[in-house]
């Protein structure tokens, strides 16, 4: 019976993450189409800005491309946060086999996010 609240909490985490990421993306698209990019370039080229994440200064100034990059980053981080939350829940239940498996999965996701060990 205890599994139900855990599933609900994880569901809330996923829905919240997607909703926040979606809201940031909508703001970024609206700002881009209303004001254009501060870089004055094409949207796709701006989004690929040498792989640099958005800075706080760009976000504070409402740079549309920085908002779009933040929205994409939040969307990518949502399932990673779900795995991290699952790890904490398994640890609280002292289910060490699943803690180990989940820690391995989380490690692989974080390495992938950091760009370590890619193909090709």
Cβ neighbors of 103 (< 8 A, separation 6 or more) are 87
Q: At what angle do helices 3-35 and 64-92 cross, to 10 degrees?
A: 170
The total of structural domains in the chain comes to: 1
In a domain, 120, yes or no: no
Q: pTM of this prediction?
A: 0.72
Domain assignment present for 53: yes
pLDDT one-digit tens code per residue, 36-76: 655 555 555 555 555 566 677 877 777 888 888 889 989 99
pLDDT in tens, 4-13: 777 788 889 8
How far is Cα 22 from Cα 30, in angstroms, rounded to an integer?
12
Q: What is the dihedral of CA 73, 77, 79, 80, to 10 degrees?
A: 150
Confirm whether 119 is domain-assigned. Answer: no
The whole-angstrom separation of Cα 111 and Cα 96 is: 22
Domain extent, residue 96, equals 3-114
């Amino acid at each position: 019976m205890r599994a139900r609240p855990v599933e609900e909490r994880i569901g809330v985490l996923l829905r919240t993450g997607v909703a926040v990421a979606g809201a940031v993306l909508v703001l970024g698209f609206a700002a881009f189409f209303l004001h254009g990019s501060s870089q004055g370039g094409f949207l796709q080229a701006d989004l690929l800005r040498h792989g640099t994440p958005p800075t706080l200064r760009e976000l504070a100034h409402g740079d549309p491309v920085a908002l779009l990059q933040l929205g994409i980053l939040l969307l990518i981080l949502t399932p990673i946060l779900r795995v991290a939350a699952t790890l904490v829940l398994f640890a609280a239940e002292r289910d060490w086999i699943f803690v180990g498996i989940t820690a391995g999965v989380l490690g692989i996701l974080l390495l992938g996010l950091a760009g370590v060990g890619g193909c090709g």
